[in-house]
Amino acid sequence: MTAPTTAGVLLSRLRDHGVEYVFGIVGREAEAILFDEVDGIEFVLTRHEFSAGVMADVLARITNRPQACFATLGPGATNLSTGVATAALDRSAVIALAAQTESYDRFPNHTHQCVDTVGVMRPLTKFAEELARPRDVVDLIDSAVSAATVEPPGPSFLSLPVDLLGAPIGPQAPPPVDHVAGLGTVDPHWRRQLAVVADLFAGAEHPVLVVGSAAIRAGAVDVLRSFARRTGTPVITTYTAKGVLPTDDPLCYGAVSGYMDGILDFPALDALFGPVDLIIALGYDYAEDLRPSMWQRGRDKRVVRVSAAVNPVPRVLRPDVDVVVDPATFLTGLDRATAGVAARTPHDISPLRARVAELLADRTDHADGMRVHQVIDTMNEVLPREGTFVSDIGYFRHYGVLFANSSRPYGFLTSAGCSSFGYGLPAALAAQLARPGEPVVLLAGDGGFHSNSADLETAARLNLPVVMVVVNNSGNGLIELYQHKGHGRAHRPATGFSTVDFVQLAQANGVEGVLATDRDSLRTALRKGFELRRPFLVEVPIGYDFAAGDFSALAV
Ligand code: TP9
Ligand code: MG
């Protein structure tokens, strides 16, 4: 039997930590690693390293385990860096790996394809090191996984010199993997703080729970649902925590976006937060873009921040009570401590709900294309309750935050923190890998989708039956909105594209596609897409009314 190489030990250690897939593109280090060295871990070839990073991010998020991505040296690693940044700002336990020039020939910016990738990745990651001796590989993987999984989770990076990757390693008996990730700093005073928060809650007239994704990661969804219903406490979420209460639950007050007043042409933030006198920010994370300035309106409020990590943004948030403990433990404690508190009547947001319903029911025909709220209403009609709604980044995404139905944690997936456009397609593919047999629909704009559309071929090759809806206004619409906001007009050379035929683009990559121009043709196309069990693309021409609406909440 041949001795295992560093590559084999690396892969088996990753597998032992629960990693199921390595997404990426292999370069000349293929002479040292084939990716079939061990069973139980699969390599998925993508068309771009950014896609590989996003796929690892989304799979890690849904499976609650670390997942890996891989790039070759130099340009492969720098391409991967945007996926790594996405995992950093969106808090995902991604183990990013890249090959490096042979250890004896490592002269960054001189040797062929050699750049200092640890230097590139260090500010984007929680841990970044280069392998110096083959026998260190298990320790390095263990450190990378520990750093990546401790709250708040994020990416780790390992640089792998090609000669060391292919080197034989003597027989190894690594210690067993401990799957339990740490919880970061736990403040031992949290039990005393719990009594304070229970008193604040008992004395409040209109408390709300403002929920971030850390509450999902902590496993707080069940206790959150029962606590909210028992006490009559409304739940407001960030983009990415949408679904912790189903959209149609009377206590689901929706997800917040800084664009909502403008899109709805309605003072939505005032309606949501004006009457509130206590905010319990459960699993709060500033990166999810629900900013304290959005809730600072109307009545004076007490604010409680609950997070397993210490407060990193005191300049914008100084809560009245800052509880450093995992959100599930805290809410379970609060549930018990408030058992005697009677259920309240939540504050009334019926005018806001009526405005949302009015837009969803909009049947107006527009010569310049459907409006995005009409597109999403039609998607809601067809997507089954357990389905996953993935959104790329663009103006349409903020309509998705407001209008898309979501009934489960991570039922709505988008990049809130990094907002890297082009995220949507690989995110949807990874969601489908994580949830085989369940419907996954993608909403993407022409700008973001075509910035990373090469992975249409990956969808076809892996036969991942995602239904993709590309809303096409031949331009970077969101940026046009900002041009209007700043200058009162658009400058198309900086935002406008020529026409792309997305149906033909899909077909060229082995994906069936159709054009839909109204609600009826879109509904028919979506139904067909969900029955097909193969990837399917629907292109929908859309129009935006940028000049309308109040976007002052964006000036934060
Ligand atoms: N480059 C990256 C990688 N990410 C982002 N977010 C930008 C640039 C800046 N954002 S959101 C956007 C840009 C250019 C335009 C999106 O255009 P679209 O056609 O995908 O969507 P829409 O509906 O706004 O036109
Ligand atoms: Mg566009």
Write out pLDDT tens, residues 242-301: 999 999 999 999 999 999 999 999 999 999 999 999 999 999 999 999 999 999 999 999
Q: pLDDT at position 340, please? A: 93
Enter the DSSP assignment of 474. S
| Buried b or exposed e, range 64-87, using 16+ CB within 10 angstroms | ebbbbbbbbbbebbbbbbbbbbbb
Which ligand approaches the C-alpha of residue 399 most closely?
1
Cβ proximity of 139 and 12 under 8 Å: no
Query: How far does residue 473's CA lie from ligand 2's centre (Å)?
Result: 5
- Closest-lying ligand 1 atom to the alpha carbon of residue 449: 20
Measured CA to CA, the distance from residue 404 to residue 417 in angstroms comes to: 19
3-state SS class at 128 = strand
Assigned superfamily of 362-541: Thiamin diphosphate (ThDP)-binding fold, Pyr/PP domains (3.40.50.970)
Closest C-alpha among 210, 135, 202, 208 to residue 170: 135
Measured CA to CA, the distance from residue 509 to residue 14 in angstroms comes to: 32
Assigned superfamily of 190-344: TPP-binding domain (3.40.50.1220)
Closest C-alpha among 502, 499, 497 to residue 538: 502
Query: How far does residue 269's CA lie from ligand 2's centre (Å)?
Result: 26
- Closest-lying ligand 1 atom to the alpha carbon of residue 471: 23
| Buried b or exposed e, range 307-328, using 16+ CB within 10 angstroms | bbbeeeeeeebebebbbbbbbb
Residue 250: which residues within 8 A CB-CB, separation 6 or more?
A: none
Query: Which tokens go with 23?
Result: 């997404």
3-state SS class at 540 = strand
Q: Which residues lie at CB < 5 A from ion ligand 2?
A: 445-447, 473, 477
Which of 395, 470, 545, when mutated, tests ligand 1's pocket best, judged by the most ligand atoms within 8 Å of its CB? 395
Q: pLDDT at position 184, please? A: 39
Measured CA to CA, the distance from residue 25 to residue 211 in angstroms comes to: 36
- Closest-lying ligand 1 atom to the alpha carbon of residue 82: 3
Which of 54, 263, 393, when mutated, tests ligand 1's pocket best, judged by the most ligand atoms within 8 Å of its CB? 393
Per-residue pLDDT averaged across 226-246, rounded?
97
Query: How far does residue 108's CA lie from ligand 1's centre (Å)?
Result: 33
Which ligand approaches the C-alpha of residue 89 most closely?
1
Which ligand approaches the C-alpha of residue 259 most closely?
1
Measured CA to CA, the distance from residue 464 to residue 536 in angstroms comes to: 9
Q: pLDDT at position 190, please? A: 87
DSSP string, 150-211: SSSP--EEEEEEHHHHTSB-----PPPP----------TTHHHHHHHHHHHHHH-SSEEEEE
Q: List pLDDT tens digits, range 126-176.
A: 999 999 999 999 999 999 999 999 999 999 999 999 999 999 997 777 877
Which ligand approaches the C-alpha of residue 372 most closely?
1
What percent of the chain is modeled with pLDDT above 90? 91
Q: List pLDDT tens digits, range 295-342.
A: 999 999 999 999 999 899 988 999 999 999 999 999 999 999 999 999
Which of 81, 263, 478, 498, when mutated, tests ligand 1's pocket best, judged by the most ligand atoms within 8 Å of its CB? 478
Which amino acid is present at 499?
T
**Domain-wise residue ranges, the chain:** 6-165, 190-344, 362-541
Which of 476, 546, 554, when mutated, tests ligand 1's pocket best, judged by the most ligand atoms within 8 Å of its CB? 476
Same fold, 6-165 and 362-541: yes
Which CATH code of 3.40.50.2300, 3.40.50.970, 3.40.720.10, 1.10.3720.10 fits the domain covering 6-165?
3.40.50.970
Q: pLDDT at position 1, please? A: 55
Q: List pLDDT tens digits, range 190-207.
A: 888 999 999 999 999 999
- Closest-lying ligand 1 atom to the alpha carbon of residue 481: 24
**Strands of the sheet with 467-472, listed across from one edge:** 412-413, 388-391, 440-445, 467-472, 536-541, 512-515
**Strands of the sheet with 21-24, listed across from one edge:** 42-45, 21-24, 67-71, 94-100, 156-161, 127-130
Q: pLDDT at position 554, please? A: 67
Query: How far does residue 544's CA lie from ligand 1's centre (Å)?
Result: 14
Query: How far does residue 418's CA lie from ligand 2's centre (Å)?
Result: 19
Q: List pLDDT tens digits, range 86-99.
A: 999 999 999 999 99
Residues with CB under 6 A from ligand 1: 393-396, 419-421, 445-448, 471, 473, 475-479
Query: How far does residue 435's CA lie from ligand 1's centre (Å)?
Result: 27
Phi, psi of 75 (to 5 degrees): -65, -30
On average, the pLDDT of the chain sits at 94
Cβ proximity of 160 and 138 under 8 Å: no
Q: pLDDT at position 171, please? A: 73
Query: Which tokens go with 218?
Result: 């902590």
Q: List pLDDT tens digits, range 374-397.
A: 999 999 999 999 999 999 999 999
Q: pLDDT at position 178, please? A: 58
Q: pLDDT at position 550, please? A: 67
Which one has a higher pLDDT value, 214 or 550? Answer: 214
Distances from the Cα of 207 to the Cα of 130, 195, 299, angstroms: 49, 16, 12
